[in-house]
Structure formats: structure tokens, C-alpha cells
Amino acid sequence: MAPYSLLVSRLQKALGVRQYHVASVLCQRAKVAMSHFEPNEYIRYDLLEKNINIVRKRLNRPLTLSEKIVYGHLDDPANQEIERGKTYLRLRPDRVAMQDATAQMAMLQFISSGLPKVAVPSTIHCDHLIEAQLGGEKDLRRAKDINQEVYNFLATAGAKYGVGFWRPGSGIIHQIILENYAYPGVLLIGTDSHTPNGGGLGGICIGVGGADAVDVMAGIPWELKCPKVIGVKLTGSLSGWTSPKDVILKVAGILTVKGGTGAIVEYHGPGVDSISCTGMATICNMGAEIGATTSVFPYNHRMKKYLSKTGRADIANLADEFKDHLVPDSGCHYDQLIEINLSELKPHINGPFTPDLAHPVAEVGSVAEKEGWPLDIRVGLIGSCTNSSYEDMGRSAAVAKQALAHGLKCKSQFTITPGSEQIRATIERDGYAQILRDVGGIVLANACGPCIGQWDRKDIKKGEKNTIVTSYNRNFTGRNDANPETHAFVTSPEIVTALAIAGTLKFNPETDFLTGKDGKKFKLEAPDADELPRAEFDPGQDTYQHPPKDSSGQQVDVSPTSQRLQLLEPFDKWDGRDLEDLQILIKVKGKCTTDHISAAGPWLKFRGHLDNISNNLLIGAINVENGKANSVRNAVTQEFGPVPDTARYYKKHGIRWVVIGDENYGEGSSREHAALEPRHLGGRAIITKSFARIHETNLKKQGLLPLTFADPADYNKIHPVDKLTIQGLKDFAPGKPLTCIIKHPNGTQETILLNHTFNETQIEWFRAGSALNRMKELQK
């Protein structure tokens, strides 16, 4: 059986679809399924068009591509206030994707909502929890063993609530999305920061926290600050050693890690056509490193080719019909414009310790010498969601083949992480994997592995200074191997391969020679490889579980004694009274990110267990009273102790508490645990000088009161030993400040005003105890 027919027959079996032929799908131009896996969920270009027309009439100006896709998904396009960088948009995304680490809490919250099924097509992908140790199959077996209960929970919850489940070994979430679910014009949210990868197929794909995913799965409009748009005009064309990765490495060097914040990066111009679809995905993927909301490319023939090769020619045909809405209007306005001539672009390598420290490959060796960075490359790593396409593997194999022809192998260790089972099987079939093994590589599991610190590295001791080069996206301190002395550089997979062969950062494949086994000098030719396999993709092993049509008898596996998973109890409703005599758990001094509120690292394994992970509550925040982290006064015993223990003491004794914070409280990743934990341990309000917006919304969703001092100087009026009463909740209304009475231990009192940003809906969340509780009330 030919591989593609095999895939289709598997799909038919998985979906229970009879007489499901590719030809019949290809003919359905008017009604085209969003993916093979959801034959009854159709692409709504008609709705996109209708909404774009409404908005275009209102704004009366040319629109960028990202505006078309974003505004085309507005909940109320006729009345939505639209001002880039200012207003908040209410959107209706088409689908949701979750990776296994973040899906746990998202699914637990969804279960707690009481809804029977997800409202939009959604999927779970098992990729983050697989450790790289010995190589593909062994590592996969070990991961299945260690994480069995988490996988089991996700599989059974997916089956129960209508969520597709991609088993461990299926591949990395963003590759699976690109191969199966992304399409031009889609609005997709994913609980992972590199969700923007789907922009390579012309979609607006945005990384979010689990609470946002729950909203969308529950059918609630999703809020996004109207993004600004940064245009990147590409001219010329890619050639030689220069690759798509060099485009984003260059952009990162220009914009830095914060330059894209609040904006969508929109690529356009004649240079776009010289980049493959998977290459465009690489560029969008790494847009996360400049803080961009997402990145996107206009629909073109390279996307059409990719869609056709991945069995979605019907989507490409439909996109052709609606092409006007899948490219920017001419004359549209960008908030910032960057121009890059691809013909002049040179191979880049960025790092160490930050992805925006850009160097041309030709210069990195001398910079490293000057800076004292180790020149010897210990390990070269290719793959990850950023660079693991068929083309990437082909270009790396083309470099490796030349070294082998001269009797050379890699001087450095070399690992390969295929992005998906389909890529793994196809590069095995086409011989690339063997070439990469022959040159000294180890093919790891189709998973995140070393990219997310799941790397059981044996070749160095912690603290040993060393250099690695990767084709991944992030290279912050300790990201790959938890060793703060590892100098990680990011570059394209073909440059990683060339550097791993040479073993030194001083090697520039464009100009330098290697010495073959015969003692003769030779130069590596620039790699040339097919963008897509000539034959069909080999789907490899069947790793997908489609939810059953009838899931009424399906049980969700969560053991009551589990240390990693815990079903959520609904939070208590507001009792209708003002919040009196709140104890101050901690008055935080200075920066307090979501990492300070809910630390990562070893706590990751408890992401599905709210009570266990709550033992990290605010352990990184600095207490104003003693300048220490994780040391606060227990107002009853007067003893200092860890923050979580003190919160638990208060909870046990029925004492409600509040946190006092400084500026931009809750910045950082949009981790919903940072809002769930204080609520779980009895917190009622967080009062700060200002909030990071996403965290503020997350707090509201969990029924907490995020409030700000009307006069920021009032922060200084509150002492950790005071008690606070928050008044005015009976008349809680948008824009109406609340009153706070500060009761000092000496019996004196002061009254201050507290502002809030609650709207009517969010006030209902507060009254119900949480957004989920409110959702349940509405169902009744």
C-alpha cells in the first residue's frame, strides 16, 4: 500500500468514516474540512470574508494580512472598538492545541467547567515530557513508563471531552500542527510559546496560557490586545549557505528580545517566494524570541505545494479562491518597517545565552576568542520544532555526505531530533537518517528532549564551561542542560552540521577548508536538498487517537492518591459581603514575575496537581519586611516561615489573606498556576501599583480581586502587620473604585482608594467564585 493511502485508510478507521476517498474530499471546494481528522468541521473563509468586509468598511483603509485574519475572527466585527496597541479584541479562534505539560491544567480546568465537549476542534500533543538520554526508542519507552499516569489522564480526558490525542512519539506539537492543522487564514491558539510556527502556512497562531485555552474550548470569546503590525519586507532571494533561520536570526538582532512585544510580525515582499513553506515556519516559530504576539507570511505557491504534499490540496484550492483575503492589501500601513535583502544576507549564529546576540558565522570565532567563550564545540544538536523539516534534514545530510566522502565524521557529538513521526519515517526511508548516523549522529525521539532541558547529558559536569550549537530557538542560560556554564548558540541545521564536523566555532564553511582522511584539503559545498520528498511522505507509526463519537461511558483516569494529578474543586462563591480584616501574606518588594509567584524547574512535574504545586507559591518573591525570599511573618504565631506554609496556616484557620505587590506584578509567561495557587491557598485579593495584563486577567478568572492603588504612593502606607478591609463590593461596577481601610496594629486607621479594570462579565466571575463557576451557572 502506498504510504499516503495508508494514512487515509488509518484515518478512515480512526474516524469511523466509510467510503472516505481522497478524490471526494478534493472535489468539495465549497465545503472543505479543516483537517483530515475532523471531516465535519469546515474552513469558514466565507465568514472571514464577511467580517473583513465589515471591518474594511468601518476603517476605510487598506488592511495588513494579520489585520485581515485577526479582525476576520472578531466576535462582533460591526461594533468592536479597533485601535492597534490600544483596544482589546474579542475573538473567536478556530482551534486549540496543547502540549502535554500545559494541557494537564487546561484539561483539569475544562473538566471543572462541567461542559460535556470542547466547543472548537482541539488537540493534545505529547512531546515535552520525553527526556533525551540514549536515543529514540529507549528514551520513548522510558518516558512512557515515567509519565504513564499523565499520558493516561490526557488520553482519557481527550477521549471524554472530544480532544484529539497525539501519543508520545508522534512528534513536536508545532510540526504536527503544520503537517495537519494549520492553513492560510486560520486563527489558532496553543498553550506553548512557539505556536506561531503555523504562520509559515499563513495562519495567525498565538501562544497562550491554559486559562485562555479553556475559554476558547468552552466557547467564550478570547481577548487579545489589538496587535500592532511590524512589516518585514524581504527582497532578493535565499541561496548558498544562507537559510530561513538566518532571516529570523537577523531580525532578532535588529529587534532584540523585546522588540516584537505587542506586535505581529508580517513578512512580505518579493523575497518571500524564495523561502519554502517549512522555512517560513522556522522564521515564524522563532518570532517568539523577539516577544512578538505571532508572525505570519502571505499565502503563496510554496504553501500550496506544502499543503498538497501533506494531503491537503483541497485546502490549497479553496485558499486560491479566497487569496485576496490571505495576502496584505497594497498600501497597507505597518507600525514599523524593516527591509532585508536576502541576496545579501549571510549565515548567522546567535548567542550565547540570548537569541538576539547576532553574529555572522564568519565572525563568531574571533568574537568568541575575544570574549573567552570556548571555541571547541562539545555537541551539535539539530531538529526541534524550529528546524526539523524534510528540507532541514536534507540540507544537513547533504553537508554530512560531503564529509563522509572525504572520510570524515563529526568531531563534536551530534544529535538529531526529528520534528514528527512522519519526518522520522520519511528521512529513514530516504536515507538521510543513515547519513546523519554515519557521520556520528544519534537520532533522538520525535520530541522536545534537549530543547526544554530534558537532556540527561553525560559528557560534562554541571558548572563546566563548554560550547554547544543547536538549530533550536532558545538559548537562555541552562535552557538545554541546566548547566549555567553551557554557552549555547543557535543557527541553521546545516551550519550546526558543518560546525559539528569541524568541531570549532572558528570554522566558516563558506571560506574555510577541512582536511580529508587522505590529508587533502577540501571545501564543503553549499548544501542543496529537496524542499519536500519526491515520493509521498511516509506517515510512520500510527500515533493519533481520535475521540470516540459516543464518550458517555468514558472514564477519566485520575487516581485520588496521585502526586502529579488532582481534579480541581470549584472555588467558593463570593458570600455577598465586603472582605473584612484580610491578613497580609506578603508585601512584595520590587519585581515579581510569574516565575517568582509559581517557579518552574523541578515544579514542572506538579503542573497537574494544584495542591502540590502550590508549595511553590511566591517562594521567589522578596518580602519587604526582611528583604528575604520565602520568609514571611505568621501574624498569629509571629514566627517567620515559608510563604506556602504560612498561607496554608491561614487557610486552615479560616483567615483570608491578601498580597501587596509593586509595579508590573505578574509579568513573564502567562502561567495560570500563578493565579490558581493563591486562590487555592485562601487568597482573596492582590493589591499592587500595577499588573502585567495577562496575569491580571488570569487572577480575575480564578475569582481573585486584582486591585491597584489609586495613588501608587499608598503602597507605602501599608505595613506587613496591618489588616485590610475592602469595601464597596455590593456595588461593584466597572470603573467604580473600591475603598480600602488599612487597620494598623496600634488601632489607627487610614482609608485609601483602589482601582480595578473589571468589566461586567468579569464582575460576574468574581461573584460566582471563578470564570468556570460562572460558566456553569450559565449552563443551568
The residues annotated with a catalytic role in the active site are 127-128, 192, 474, 669, 671
Q: Toward ligand SF4, which CB reaches closer, 289 or 696?
A: 289
Distance (Å, whole) CA 82 – CA 353: 38
When asked if residue 473 is in the footprint of ligand SF4 (CB under 6 A), the reply is: yes
CB of 172 to ligand SF4, least distance (A): 5
Q: Which of 389, 440, 25 is nearest to 200 (CA)?
A: 389
Annotate 125-151 with b (16+ C-beta within 10 A) or e (fewer): bbbbbbbbbeebeebbebbbeebebbb
CB of 227 to ligand SF4, least distance (A): 22
3-state secondary structure of 368: helix
- HSE-up of 517 (CA within 13 Å, CB side)? 9
When asked if residue 194 is in the footprint of ligand SF4 (CB under 6 A), the reply is: yes
CB of 196 to ligand SF4, least distance (A): 11
When asked if residue 471 is in the footprint of ligand SF4 (CB under 6 A), the reply is: no
Phi-psi domain of 663 (left: phi exceeds 0; alpha: psi -120 through 50; beta: other): beta
Angle formed by the axes of helices 148-161 and 100-113, nearest 10°: 50
For residue 538, give the C-alpha cell.
Answer: 511516509
CB of 306 to ligand SF4, least distance (A): 19
Q: Name residues contacting ligand SF4, limited to 428-457 (CB under 6 A).
A: 448, 451-452
CB of 164 to ligand SF4, least distance (A): 18
Q: Toward ligand SF4, which CB reaches closer, 67 or 356?
A: 356
When asked if residue 208 is in the footprint of ligand SF4 (CB under 6 A), the reply is: no
Distance (Å, whole) CA 185 – CA 727: 47
Q: Name residues contacting ligand SF4, limited to 346-375 (CB under 6 A).
A: none
Distance (Å, whole) CA 709 – CA 752: 8
When asked if residue 599 is in the footprint of ligand SF4 (CB under 6 A), the reply is: no
Which residue is it, cell 582522511?
Answer: 517
Q: Toward ligand SF4, which CB reaches closer, 128 or 680?
A: 128
User: Residue 415 class from Cβ within 10 Å (0-12 exposed, 13-18 middle, 19+ buried)?
Assistant: buried
User: Residue 371 class from Cβ within 10 Å (0-12 exposed, 13-18 middle, 19+ buried)?
Assistant: exposed
Q: Name residues contacting ligand SF4, limited to 9-28 (CB under 6 A).
A: none
* E runs forming strands in 591-718: 632-633, 640-641, 657-660, 683-688, 705-709
Instruction: Give the residues across from 413 on adjacent strands.
Output: 379
CB of 483 to ligand SF4, least distance (A): 17
Query: Contact letters (x/-) for ligand SF4, 149-188, by CB under 6 A?
Result: -----------------------xxx--------------
When asked if residue 289 is in the footprint of ligand SF4 (CB under 6 A), the reply is: no
Residue type, 125: H
CB of 471 to ligand SF4, least distance (A): 10
Q: Name residues contacting ligand SF4, limited to 215-244 (CB under 6 A).
A: none
Q: Toward ligand SF4, which CB reaches closer, 388 or 616?
A: 388
Q: What is the DSSP letter of 241?
A: T
Q: Toward ligand SF4, which CB reaches closer, 185 or 419?
A: 419
Q: Name residues contacting ligand SF4, limited to 88-127 (CB under 6 A).
A: 127
CA-angle at 629, arms to 625 and 634, nearest 5°: 55
For residue 307, give the C-alpha cell.
Answer: 499543503
When asked if residue 131 is in the footprint of ligand SF4 (CB under 6 A), the reply is: no
Size of interface with ligand SF4, in residues (CB under 6 A)? 14
CB of 417 to ligand SF4, least distance (A): 7
φ/ψ of 712, rounded to 5, equals -55, -25
CB of 2 to ligand SF4, least distance (A): 30
Q: Toward ligand SF4, which CB reaches closer, 116 or 601?
A: 601
φ/ψ of 589, rounded to 5, equals -105, 125
CB 490 within 8 A of CB 355: yes
For residue 305, give the C-alpha cell.
Answer: 505545494
Q: Toward ligand SF4, which CB reaches closer, 130 or 403?
A: 130
CB 106 within 8 A of CB 152: no
3-state secondary structure of 305: helix
Pairing mode of beta strands 632-633, 640-641:
antiparallel
CB of 449 to ligand SF4, least distance (A): 8
Distance (Å, whole) CA 124 – CA 151: 10
Q: Toward ligand SF4, which CB reaches closer, 207 or 259?
A: 207
Q: Toward ligand SF4, which CB reaches closer, 127 or 392?
A: 127
φ/ψ of 381, rounded to 5, equals -125, 125
Q: Toward ligand SF4, which CB reaches closer, 104 or 473?
A: 473
Q: Which of 94, 131, 192, 421 binds ligand SF4 (CB under 6 A)?
A: 192
When asked if residue 384 is in the footprint of ligand SF4 (CB under 6 A), the reply is: yes
Q: What is the DSSP letter of 555?
A: P
Query: Contact letters (x/-) for ligand SF4, 292-331, by CB under 6 A?
Result: ----------------------------------------
User: Residue 692 class from Cβ within 10 Å (0-12 exposed, 13-18 middle, 19+ buried)?
Assistant: buried
CB 191 within 8 A of CB 99: yes
16: which residues sit within 8 A by CB, 6+ positions away?
549
Q: Which of 750, 726, 730 is nearest to 739 (CA)?
A: 726
Q: What is the CB neighbour count within 10 angstroms for residue 728?
A: 15
Which residue is it, cell 522520522?
Answer: 424
Q: Toward ligand SF4, which CB reaches closer, 168 or 661?
A: 168
Cα 593 to chain centroid, rounded? 18
Q: Toward ligand SF4, which CB reaches closer, 94 or 192?
A: 192
When asked if residue 385 is in the footprint of ligand SF4 (CB under 6 A), the reply is: yes
Distance (Å, whole) CA 77 – CA 52: 8
CB 460 within 8 A of CB 211: no
Binding site for ligand SF4 (CB under 6 A): 127-128, 172-174, 192, 194, 384-385, 448, 451-452, 472-473
